[in-house]
């Protein structure tokens, strides 16, 4: 059955009062789904994400000494540091996402005063729903609001991204932080990751639900292989640039361009480039499907994306491939694919409401039978991005 975590933001507030005895502000920042457009963001391509009804919540207020204290409810763990020296730490790892944000505020010339902060939430970690981006965004927004720095959301996104690159060590694209910050209830958006122009449009799912099947595989390969994929795409750009000097990313490259020079590409690099070029086209076509509310056609593209991610980009795994294949045997499934960085985490499925119960039961059963693991599923809805939380 669907797995619900019981998270009440009031608990974050009460915990703050209990620990620090002052009145905090509360900020919520959601996880995200990505409808289509995977591994395209760092290639200056297109993505189609949306923020979901799973949040990280940060409670924050100034402290009275020269130390700042962080407390994670999930880890039941404190971390204190001298506010002027938010250095990266070996442990606890969760603190690095916040320390990186403080570092970047200071580097940008902001005078950060000492503070206390309590963090909790119900975005599952390691499931490909961007819990780390939600953590960075909630905290960046909270720190900005507390100090009244008036930093616009676009700049907070780049601060959060800097923390991910430099303190978490994942050279991710901008999609996750952007979605968590800019999401709108009931709407997905197409983001052009080169110009950062974006366009919202309603997702009229009518009789259909978005279901995530969590393989429960924690993507341990994810950060190293992710950075390798990024490097392989850059290698592809270098090869093609010898012939087309104006090319600055895979966004500028077409299939005929790589086919003409196929002999110069190592096979893997060719496959990576091929996938990215096709995926960019798919996002633009898929946005037309959504506008026409043609979920069938959209769903087909989800399956095509999965095939590309699995065979050309090689970021899937046995468990994710199984979940996508299995979905094809169940009535009412319009489309399915792995979502996010890969090597574990969730598949995203469009399922007719009339078949939803059966889908969840059958998928959980099949997964347990095959891998001996009980799978989590999440039926998600599309919500607003980062903002102040009023209790």
Taking CB under 6 A as the rule, does residue 81 contact ligand GLA?
Answer: no
Q: In this chain, which stretch among 39-47, 64-72, 250-258, 278-286 interacts with ligand GLA, using CB under 6 A?
A: 39-47
The whole-angstrom separation of Cα 151 and Cα 143 is: 10
* CA-to-CA separations, 317 to 38, 233, 323, 333, in angstroms, rounded: 15, 20, 10, 21
CB nearer to ligand GLA: give 16 or 226: 226
d(CA 3, CA 6): 10
**Residue of this chain nearest to ligand GLA (CB atom):** 172
Distances (CA, A) of 379 to 59, 120, 204, 351, 356: 27, 21, 16, 10, 9
When the beta carbons of 335 and 341 are compared against ligand GLA, the nearer one is 341
Closest to ligand GLA by CB, 59 vs 319, is: 319
Q: How far is the CB of 172 from ligand GLA (least distance, A)?
A: 3
CB of 252 to ligand GLA, least distance (A): 19
- Burial of 6: CB neighbours in 10 Å, binned 0-12, 13-18, 19+: exposed
279 binds ligand GLA (CB under 6 A): no
42 binds ligand GLA (CB under 6 A): yes
Binding to ligand GLA by residue 341, rule CB under 6 A? Answer: yes
- 289: annotated active-site residue: no
By the rule CB under 6 A, 45 interacts with ligand GLA? no
Q: How many residues bind ligand GLA (CB under 6 A)?
A: 11
> Does 127 help bind ligand GLA (rule: CB under 6 A)?
no
Kindly state whether residue 41 participates in binding ligand GLA, applying the rule CB under 6 A: yes
Q: Rounded to whole angstroms, how far apart are CA atoms 299 and 267?
A: 29
For the sheet with 187-192, list strands across it: 46-47, 187-192, 198-202
Q: Which of 12, 13, 35, 39 binds ligand GLA (CB under 6 A)?
A: 39
Q: Give the contact letters, 144-173, x = binds to ligand GLA (CB under 6 A), - = no.
A: ----------------------------xx
**Is residue 176 at the binding interface for ligand GLA, with CB under 6 A as the rule?**
yes
Among the listed residues 176, 214, 289, 321, the single catalytic one is: 176
- 214 near ligand GLA, rule: CB under 6 A: no
Task: Give the DSSP per-residue string, 236-293.
Answer: HHHHHHTT-TT--SGGG--HHHHHHTGGGS-HHHHHHHHHHHHHHHHHHHHHHHHHTT
Radius of gyration of the chain (CA): 21
Each residue 219-248 as x (binds ligand GLA by CB under 6 A) or -, in order, gives: ------------------------------
What count of other Cβ atoms lies within 10 Å of the Cβ of residue 365?
Answer: 12
CB 344, CB 317: distance < 8 Å: yes
- Owner of token pair 């933001």: 9
- Is 272 among the residues that bind ligand GLA (CB under 6 A)? no
- What part of residues 97-116 is at the interface with ligand GLA (CB under 6 A)? none
How would you classify the pairing of strands 346-352 and 333-338?
antiparallel
The β-bridge partners of 351 are: 209, 333
Burial annotation 313-332 (CB, 10 A radius, 16+ → b, else e): bbbbbebbbbbbebbeebeb
Q: By CB under 6 A, is residue 38 in contact with ligand GLA?
A: yes
Nearer to ligand GLA, 332 or 340 (CB): 340
175 touches ligand GLA (CB under 6 A): yes
Residues with active-site annotation: 176
Question: Which residues in this chain contact ligand GLA in the complex, by CB under 6 A?
Answer: 38-39, 41-42, 130, 172-173, 175-176, 340-341
């Amino acid at each position: 059955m669907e797995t619900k975590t019981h998270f009440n933001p009031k608990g974050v507030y009460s915990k703050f009062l209990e620990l620090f005895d002052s009145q905090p502000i509360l900020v919520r920042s959601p996880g995200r789904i990505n409808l289509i457009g995977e591994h395209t963001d760092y290639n200056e391509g297109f993505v189609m994400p949306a923020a979901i009804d799973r949040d990280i919540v940060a409670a924050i207020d100034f402290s009275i000494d020269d130390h700042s204290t962080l407390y994670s409810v999930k880890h039941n763990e404190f971390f204190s540091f001298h506010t002027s020296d938010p250095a990266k730490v070996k442990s606890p790892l969760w603190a690095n996402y916040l320390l990186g944000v403080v570092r970047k505020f200071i580097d940008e010339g902001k005078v950060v005063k000492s503070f206390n902060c309590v963090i909790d939430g119900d975005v599952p970690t390691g499931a490909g729903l961007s819990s780390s981006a939600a953590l960075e965004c909630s905290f960046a927004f909270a720190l900005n609001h507390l100090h009244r720095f008036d930093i616009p959301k676009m700049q907070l996104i780049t601060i959060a991204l800097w923390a991910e690159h430099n303190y978490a060590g994942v050279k991710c694209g901008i999609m996750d932080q952007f979605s968590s910050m800019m999401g709108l209830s009931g709407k997905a958006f197409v983001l052009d990751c080169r110009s950062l122009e974006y366009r919202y449009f309603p997702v009229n799912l009518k009789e259909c639900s978005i279901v995530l099947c969590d393989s429960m595989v924690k993507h341990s390969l994810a950060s190293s292989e992710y950075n390798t994929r990024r490097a392989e795409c850059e290698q592809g750009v270098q090869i093609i640039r010898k012939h087309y000097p104006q090319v600055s990313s895979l966004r500028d490259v077409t299939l005929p361009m790589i086919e003409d020079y196929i002999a110069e590409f190592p096979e893997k690099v060719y496959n990576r480039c091929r996938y990215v070029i096709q995926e960019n086209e798919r996002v633009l076509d898929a946005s037309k499907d959504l506008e026409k509310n043609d979920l069938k056609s959209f769903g087909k593209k989800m399956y095509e994306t999965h095939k590309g991610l699995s065979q050309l980009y090689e970021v899937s795994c046995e468990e994710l491939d199984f979940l996508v294949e299995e979905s094809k045997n169940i009535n009412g499934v319009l489309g399915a694919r792995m979502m996010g960085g890969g090597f574990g985490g969730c598949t995203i499925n469009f399922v007719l409401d009339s078949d939803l119960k059966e889908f969840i039961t059958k998928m959980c059963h099949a997964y347990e039978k095959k891998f001996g693991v009980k799978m989590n599923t999440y039926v998600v809805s599309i919500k607003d991005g980062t903002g102040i939380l009023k209790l």
